[in-house]
Structures are given as structure tokens and as C-alpha cells.
Amino acid sequence: MSSGPSLSLRLYRWFGRFLSSRATAYGLAILAIVAGALTYAAITGLLPSRFSSRHATRVMLAIDLAILLALASVVVGRLTRSFVERRRGVAGARLHLRLVLLFGLFAVAPTFVVAMVSGYWLSVSLREFVSAPLSQGLESAHAMVDAMRTGVLSDVDEISKALQAEGIDTLADGEKAKALLGQAAQGRNLLEVSIIDSDRKIVASSVAYGRGPAAGMIPPPETFAKAAAEARPVFAIAPTGVYIILQLFTDGNLFLVTVPAVDPVLWQHSDRIELARTFYTNELDTNFDRNQFKIFGIYALIALLMLLSAVWMAVTFASRLTGPIASLMSAAESVRRGNLSARVTETPTDDELGRLVRAFNRMAAQIDEQRRELIDTNRQLDERRQLTEAILAGVSAGVLSVDMNNRVERANRSAVELLGKVAEDIEGHAAADILPELDSMLEQVRARPDRLLQAQVEILRAGQMRSLHVRIAAEQSGSESRGFVVTFDDVSDLMSAQRMAAWADVARRIAHEIKNPLTPIQLSAERLKRRYLRQIAEDPETFTTCTDTIIRQVGDIGRMVDEFSSFARMPRAILAEEDLKEICQQALFLQRNAQPQMLFEASLPEASLSWRVDRRQIGQALTNLLKNAGEAIEGRDPPKDGGKLPPGQIALALREDARSVRIVIEDNGRGLPRNERARLTEPYVTTRTKGTGLGLAIVKKIMEEHGGLLILEDREGGGARISLVFQRPERKAAPGTRDVAAAVSPAAGD
């Protein structure tokens, strides 16, 4: 198997690189210019004499053709690549092609103009230049010959008229005819005047300058026949002279033969000049187009050489011009995509493009440096933001960032939880849509930005009224406000704790002040009943009723005082390992006996369940909850349709999971109220006419001592579900009323 490309492929690639190299381009352009100059020298004969002009021209034309083909292949290949790059959208391809076409147009236009002018000059001016002198010379020669002929013919015509006037008989007489011829020839430029008959015999003759006719010099017979046939003078040229033959009488056989004093050679040259002119004209018309095509071919070859050289120089110049521009475009695109390390290779030239490239590289370097600085700054800002968000997320207070248009920009996690919304429903919304009270408070802070505004706002969340302590401060930059920072805390638990502390103090005082006289009152009433009942004769029943009422009411007051005392003086829990199953069973046993009309159900584990609790307090809490469940069942409203109420049911369940242990008590009573459910665990808050409002408060306090939760929920199908949650140490949540309130089902009371 071949380890590399074939030889032909390597040669093809090398040839492609050779043709596309800059050295080849410049070399071909220089060779084209030199070859064109040498071709011109060969055509015009400027080469040394030892070189054959024809041979040198052929050699140079062959060289020109080879260079032309090489240049054409290079130019066509480069233009094709430019078109392909333009179609592919390569950077700078459009500008490169446009410059090449523009420079090519500048090179073609002069060549076209020169070709048109040269063609016109060759086809018109050169023909006129060659033909005009020759025509003028021929015209002069013809004019001279014509003038000479005209003079001779005029003499012949006059002589013939004079002879014909004498009559044919006179002319037949030789002596008389000779005398007439002598008179007619006088003063005329004639060498000889003769009368010859049709048999070519001389009738009479007059010879000038001692020259006489010779029989051998008589014109040939055909000339006489021609003269008789045409009835006009006929010229005959002989070595001895020029003869003019004219028939004297139309029907006669006598001919006038004159020999003018003209050199016959001159007469012959005139005819030859006419023949030469006719031949030259025919040859010029025949060969001019062919010669013109040859000249145009040579010119076109040289012009194409120059043109392709100019186009290739234009391509090279355009490449040198658009190369840096294309590199700049590519680098700019890389910078746009985020590659700020992109640079353009700088050239040593100090022209505008070189300066532009260096300016771009400096700009890219500055942008890269600024980006690094910006990234570092953003990183620091992000770290600060994360720290701030971590701090804000860790604080229990809700924090809102509000802009000058009263729109919330940011909200921390506590704010989202306290407002009972999701972040998308807070951020970007008007502050008044979240807390209507904020609108007026923000306007107050806007009026006095140096003031910290504090207020308490009541909100309804999950069907419960919650108290928020709101603080608003203006965020200032110099003397200009940029926004507001709103912080708020849920102080419902704090207020509840304060109320519980106050009620505990009140309960302690009431228990102290009321409990002391209760015992003497009860003892006095019992003594009156025992001692004086037998002494009362009138209406003893009324006396008994009064004393029993006093004793019963005192007992009720005593029990209330005991609850006050239990709430006010509840000791700290003494935790020990106790069996929660047994505690639940004892509480159920007591309440089954106390409320026999109720149906009690228990869901307890088979094995015992140990937990660190205060046995007495947990038993008291279960007793209070079971008692409240029975009272809630007894307080049910009768059905509107008049039917019977279902029997009262109270269920107690003890459950354990990986995170906690729960004691759940459910009843089918009247259920929990919808409003102010969170305040049910506060002292003296009750919905029953005979209730003291301390049962749930005591249970809540007991669960706080145990680090647990008291959860109030609605039971499915009606009624209430109360849960005592003991969390495992690793999962233990901070105890408090807020957790209890947060655990209340939002659908409570529905």
C-alpha cells in the first residue's frame, strides 16, 4: 500500500503552489513585459542585423504565446478561486474580486481604445497613405500622356479634314498628295505623315528631319482593319515609333498614318504604369485584409500579454490590499465571538494598512486586558454578592431591594418564606402588590431619605394573621437616592411569647388572690348545709339548691385556679427514658372512663417505644388534647337536614419514622376555626363558652420544653388532627411557636 500521495498528485500540488506563488506571478509579469518589448523590436527591425527579422519575430511570437498561456492559467485560476471564495463568504473575497475587476477594467479600456484606433488607422489611414502618392504619380503620368494624345489627335483631325476637303481624286495623285501632306505637317510635332491604301502601299508621304518611312515599319494589317471598323484613330506602337491610323473616307481605302514626335518607350511606359496601378490595386484589395489580420494577431498577442500582466499585477495588488483587510475581518469576527487572543500578523511596512493592523492588535490587546480586569472585578463582585446573598439567606429577617419606581428587584429566602410566595411573584413586581402598606411607607421615606421608618404590619398568610415589623431605609449614593431596602421580621411568635409571659404573671396573681378564700367559702357552704338544713322548715329544697350551687361553683373556680397555677408555675421538664406506648394507654384509659359516650380508637405499636420525656407533662398534654377532642365533639352543630349526628370518635396513633416520633390525635368534632388559628396556643384564646383557653397553651409549652412541635391541622372528612412531634437529635429543629405556626395546614378549617 502506498504510504503517501502519488507522484502525479505531488507534481500537481507542486505545480499549483508554483503557479500561485508570488515569485511566479512577478516573474511571469516581468517576462511578459520583456517578451513584448523584444517582439516589437523584432517586428520593427530594431534587433542586430545578424538576427533574421522574420526568424526572430517567429521565435518571439512563440515565446509570447507560451507566456500568454502561463499567465492565462494563473489569472484564470486565481479569478476562479476568488469567485469560489466570494460564494463561500470568505472574508475579503468580495472586495478582492471587486478590486480585480476594477483594475482589469482599467487595463482593458486603454487596450480596447488602442485596438480600435489602430484598426481604423490600418484599415483607412494606411491605405490612403500608400495609395495616395501612387495615384497622384499615375494621374500626373496619365495627364501628361493624355495631353500628348490630345495634341496628336487634334493634329491628325485637322490634317484629315484638310485632306478630305481636297477630295479623293486629288489624294490619289501622289505628287499632289505629297504636297498637301507637306503643308499639313508644317508647324506640327510630327515626324511623318503618310497616305497608305488598304493594301499597305504608300500613296504619298511627308517625312520630317530626314526620316522616311520604311516598308517594314508600316503598321500591321489588323490596325487598318480596326481603323476602318471603328472609324476613329487607332494607335499602334512599334520600336521605331508610335503610329496613328485614321481612315480618310468612310467608304474609301485610303488611310492617314501619322507618326508623332514621341518616344515610343514613354508611350509604352504609360500603359505599363496603368497596368501596374491596376495590378497593385487588385493586390492591395486582395491581401490587405490578410495582412491586417496578421498585424492584428500580433498586436492582440502582445496586448494580451500586457493585459494579463496588468490583470495579474492587479490581482497581486488586490491580494496585498485585501489580505490584511481579510485578516482584520477574521480577527474582528473572532473577537466578536469572544476570542480576544486573536491577532493579525503585522507587516514591516509603514503604510496605512500596517498602521491599521497595529492599531487593531493594540485595541484587541487592550480589550483582552480590560476583559481580564472586568472578569476579575466581576469575580470579586460575584464573591461579594454571594457573600451578601449568603448573609441575607442566613438571616431570619426578610429583605427586599426596591428601586425608585417602587418595584422589587431582589428578595432573600426569608422574605419569600415570610410572604408565603415564590420569588417569581415578588421580584419585578410592584411593592404595593406584595404589601399594600409599603406604598405609603416608601413615599414617606422618599420624602425624608435620611429617616429610618419603622412600622408594624398585619398580613393574612395561609388563613392566619401574622404580625410583621417593617423597617425601610433609603439606599443613597451621595445626595441621590438609588432605591430602598425593606427589612421585616415575623414578630408574631415574639408577641405571642410576650402575651404568654404577661398572662402567666396575671394567672399567678389571680391564682394567689382567688385560691385563698375558695377553701373557707366551700367549707362554710358545706357546714351550712350539714348544720342548718334540719332547722329550715320552710322551703328546704331552695336552701339545698343554693348551698350545692355555691359548692359546685367554688369547685369550678378551684379547677380554673389550678389550671392558672399549672400554666403559671409549670416546672421544667425532667427528661427520662419512658415508654410512650404506656403513657398513651394510660391517657386513653382515663378518658374512656371520663367520657364513656365517646368511641376511642388506638393505633399503637406492638413493642414498647422508649423516648426521653417528662412522663407527667406528656400525660397532662395527652389528657388536655383528649379532653378538648371530647368537648369539640359535644359542641358540634346539629345537621341542617335534621338528621342525627354521627357518634363521636377519637383516635390516638403512635408512629415512628427515621426523623421523628409522632403522637396523633384525631376527632370528628367541630374542627378548628379558620381565623386566628395561630393564636389558639396563646393563653385565654378559646372558641368554647366554658373553656379557659389554657389547654393548648399548656400543651405548647410542654412541647417547647421537650424540643418538639405542636401541629394543628384539619382532619379529612371533618374534625381536627393534633400532632405532637418529637424530633430525633440529629434532625432536631429549633423549637418555637414559629415552627408550630408554620406547620399549621394552609387548608385548615376548610
Residue 140 falls inside a structural domain: no
| Region for 486 from its dihedrals, namely left if φ exceeds 0, alpha if ψ lies in -120 to 50, beta otherwise | beta
pLDDT at 12: 60
The identity of residue 30, as a single letter, is: I
* 235 or 645: which leads in pLDDT: 645
Cell of 410: 431582589
Question: How does pLDDT run across 603-636, given as a tens digit for each residue?
Answer: 999 899 999 998 888 988 898 899 888 888 888 8
pLDDT at 525: 78
Residue 398's DSSP bridge partners are 488
> Which pairing describes strands 398-402 and 408-411: parallel, antiparallel, or unpaired?
antiparallel
Residue 126: pLDDT above 60? no
Residue 204's DSSP bridge partners are 195
234 and 165 part of one domain? yes
735 and 613 part of one domain? yes
pLDDT at 504: 66
pLDDT at 739: 37
Q: Provide the pLDDT confidence category of residue 654 given band limits of 50, 70 and 90.
A: very high
Report the mean per-residue pLDDT for the chain: 74
* 703 or 504: which leads in pLDDT: 703
Report the domain count for the chain.
Answer: 5
Q: How far apart are CA 560 and CA 85, in angstroms?
A: 100
260 and 158 part of one domain? yes
Indicate the DSSP class of residue 430.
B
Residue-number span of the structural domain to which 624 is assigned? 573-743
Cell of 518: 375558695
Q: Is the full-model pTM beyond 0.85?
A: no
Residue 328 falls inside a structural domain: yes
Sign of torsion, CA 540 546 548 551? negative
Residue 102: pLDDT above 80? no
Question: How does pLDDT run across 335-349, given as a tens digit for each residue?
Answer: 878 787 777 777 776
Residue 645: pLDDT above 50? yes
- Average the pLDDT over each of 3-7, 168-172, 548-552 and give the range with the smallest value: 3-7
Residue 347 falls inside a structural domain: no
HEC letters along 330-383: HHHHHHHCCCCCCCCCCCCCCCHHHHHHHHHHHHHHHHHHHHHHHHHHHHHHHH
326 and 416 part of one domain? no
pLDDT at 169: 66
Q: Provide the pLDDT confidence category of residue 128 given band limits of 50, 70 and 90.
A: low
584 and 732 part of one domain? yes
260 and 290 part of one domain? no
Residue 474: pLDDT above 70? yes
pLDDT at 502: 65
DSSP string, 487-513: EEEE-HHHHHHHHHHHHHHHHHHHHHH
Cell of 585: 394507654
Looking at 507, 540, 565, the residue that finishes a domain is 565
Secondary structure of residue 602 in the 3-state scheme: strand
Question: How does pLDDT run across 261-273, given as a tens digit for each residue?
Answer: 776 666 666 666 6
100 and 56 part of one domain? yes
Residue 300: pLDDT above 70? no
Looking at 465, 486, 507, the residue that finishes a domain is 486
Q: What is the CATH number of the domain that holds 466?
A: 3.30.450.20
> Which pairing describes strands 649-656 and 599-603: parallel, antiparallel, or unpaired?
parallel
Indicate the DSSP class of residue 423.
G
460 and 504 part of one domain? no
Q: How far apart are CA 602 and CA 590, in angstroms?
A: 14
Most confident of 100-104, 139-143, 649-653: 649-653
Beta carbons of 306 and 108 less than 8 angstroms apart: no
Q: How far apart are CA 125 and CA 138, in angstroms?
A: 20
Residue 191 falls inside a structural domain: yes
Residue 387 falls inside a structural domain: no
Segment 191-213 mean pLDDT = 70
- Average the pLDDT over each of 63-67, 530-534, 555-559, 568-572 and give the range with the smallest value: 568-572
pLDDT at 271: 62
Residue 143: pLDDT above 60? yes
Residue 747: pLDDT above 50? no
pLDDT at 655: 92
Q: Cβ contacts of residue 634 below 8 Å, gap of 6+?
A: 648, 669
532 and 671 part of one domain? no
User: CA-CA distances (angstroms) from residue 109 to 35, 293, 315, 511, 714?
Assistant: 22, 21, 17, 123, 99
Residue 7 falls inside a structural domain: no
| Residue among 460, 486, 462 at smallest CA distance from 474 | 486
Indicate the DSSP class of residue 669.
S
pLDDT at 721: 92
Residue 740: pLDDT above 70? no
70 and 197 part of one domain? no
Beta carbons of 714 and 721 less than 8 angstroms apart: yes
Question: How does pLDDT run across 241-262, given as a tens digit for each residue?
Answer: 777 887 777 666 778 788 887 7
* 8 or 737: which leads in pLDDT: 8
> Beta-strand (E) ranges in 634-684?
649-656, 660-667
Question: How does pLDDT run across 393-404, given as a tens digit for each residue?
Answer: 777 788 888 888
Beta carbons of 124 and 132 less than 8 angstroms apart: no
Give residue for cell 490634317. 159
As a whole number of Å, the end-to-end CA separation of the chain is 86
Residue 42: pLDDT above 80? no
Residue 171 falls inside a structural domain: yes
301 and 260 part of one domain? no
Q: Provide the pLDDT confidence category of residue 601 given band limits of 50, 70 and 90.
A: very high
156 and 110 part of one domain? no
Question: How does pLDDT run across 676-725, given as a tens digit for each residue?
Answer: 666 677 766 666 655 566 678 788 888 888 888 888 888 888 889 999 99
Residue 6 falls inside a structural domain: no
Looking at 438, 458, 486, the residue that finishes a domain is 486
pLDDT at 742: 33
